[in-house]
Amino acid sequence: MSLAKRNNGCLECRMRRVCCDKAEPECFKCRKKGIKCSGQGIECRFSSHMIHKTSASLSQPATGAVRTNTQAHGPPLPSRATKRYRWRNMVSTQPDTRAPRPDEPESSSRRGSAILSVSPGPGSGSPLSRGVLDDGPLTPDAPSHAQLSLILDREKLDQNIMQLSSPRAAIEAVPPQARMLFDHFSNFIAAKMVVFDFAGNGYRQIILPLACQNETVGRAVSVIAAFHLAQKAPHMRMAAEIGQQAILSRLCRDSLRLEPKRFFNLSTWATILVLLVGDTITGSNNYVHLLELLSSLAQSSASVRSLSNTTRAFIVEQTRMFELFGCPLSSEKKGLKTLAKCPDYYLDFISSCPSLSLDPEQYSNGMIMKDAIRQACELYRNRVLQSTSRELSIESVERLRQTVLDLEPSVDGCHTLVWAFFVAAAESILPEHRDFFSSRLMSLFECTGFGSIPLALETLQLIWETQSSSSWTEIVTHQRPILIM
């Protein structure tokens, strides 16, 4: 990525190939045309392999304004560049009162090559410049310098992934609010949605780049980050709930209005996936319908040729993970249908980390997690089919306890066992078994902060109180539908 100070006018004038008077905050030509001027300042331009081939012709007018970085293939130079950034589109409670001009082109500042504009200027019209959570401004505590840093290092993204989701328009600076929420998603939520975090984590390498380009995906990422942060900053929850309802309404409308082939696209799938992640944070029961959409879209993805192998594998892996953990808790019938397949069919998400085969301890822990999930699947199946006795149930729960006994909750990747621990606790009859698995769930909540775990513990109390009269699978699927994972 190369940096350069503008010396030949704003981006909009250069894109239209007119002489710019370089006035600030808006030049005269942009004001006259009713275009939102990006102003003067510093520009960042990504390396040539990041630019979509269809926008190569549009990138020519801007190349003269950006000096070639002689260290484009060497280490980045953040200490020198970040001090000179002057972020525009700061969050403000003042509305934009400028009336749109009849001849104002739509999203004029977003056309052209892959340029990140960080110069001062008036508010932009992009989705991200509005703070992503459009339905109400959030006012969290002032983020730290680390939080304000842009968490996407596009120079390190897999080239195959970028061929899939390369920008068709100019990439604008992510405003502070969205940057803070994206940062929390990247550093915490994305790390907990995979078993072993690694550089190729699809929630960072696929979902976050889409969030920077697509309004709906960006708002979904911000919404679930706000939900998670709302545990310590309750004032964020209201805006998150409003934003979530807006996204769900749009998905419902599109699913009814569009044909299945037109409804499927990568951004729709990513939005549904992110909302499902949000249900594990909030404990909402939206997952029952979202999971059906996710499964349908994953099947449609097989016919989409534009998807890279990396993206297609991520779609299949995450869809199967949510099917394994979600379907048994939504319906006994769906649970039996899902578990009719060998559990290993769904467990690719555990072995997707490349370093798993290189680290003997990590590999061993991964095998223990797979074994525990297989045993939990058997516990569920036997309970629904009523093919187990009291003695056999106690023996099976004890075997699962022995399997995970030495796997402390603090061990890397142990958060994967939330579902298995819940199933074992729901099936438990002996007090020592109930205490063991419920304490493990509480420890994992301290690790993840996902709100479905406290709700799962409340559900366990209901199950244990009524265990003699009702099957715990009936209680979960009919009275307390929660996506526990």
Same domain membership, residue 149 and residue 284: yes
Residue 377 maps to a domain: yes
- Whole-number Å distance between alpha carbons of 106 and 123: 14
Q: Domain boundary at 287, 307, 327, which?
A: 307
- Whole-number Å distance between alpha carbons of 480 and 485: 15
Same domain membership, residue 442 and residue 364: yes
Residue 101 maps to a domain: no
Same domain membership, residue 186 and residue 52: no
Same domain membership, residue 471 and residue 421: yes
Residue 221 maps to a domain: yes
Evaluate if residue 255 carries a pLDDT over 80.
no
| Least confident stretch, 191-195, 260-264, 348-352, 372-376 | 260-264
Q: What is the mean pLDDT of residues 158-170?
A: 37
Same domain membership, residue 465 and residue 417: yes
Same domain membership, residue 187 and residue 147: yes
Residue 165 maps to a domain: no
Same domain membership, residue 137 and residue 113: no
Q: What is the mean pLDDT of residues 155-171?
A: 36
Domain that holds residue 282: 129-159+174-307
Same domain membership, residue 350 and residue 208: no
Same domain membership, residue 474 and residue 344: yes
Residue 4, beta-bridge partner list: 43
Please give the pLDDT value at position 441: 96
pLDDT tens figures, 18-43: 888 888 888 888 888 888 888 876 66
Same domain membership, residue 411 and residue 360: yes
Same domain membership, residue 249 and residue 234: yes
Evaluate if residue 466 carries a pLDDT over 70.
yes
Domain count, the chain: 3
**Residues written for the chain:** 485
Neighbours of 47 (CB within 10 A): 14
Same domain membership, residue 144 and residue 83: no
Contact (CB, 8 A) for 475 and 459? yes
User: Computed over its alpha carbons, how large is the radius of gyration of the chain?
Assistant: 25
pLDDT tens figures, 297-352: 777 766 667 778 888 889 889 999 999 999 999 999 999 999 999 999 999 999 88
Residue 171: name the closest of 72, 70, 52 by CA. Answer: 52
Residue 102 maps to a domain: no
Residue 326 maps to a domain: no
Residue 314 maps to a domain: no
> Helix and strand tally (H, E) in the chain?
23, 4
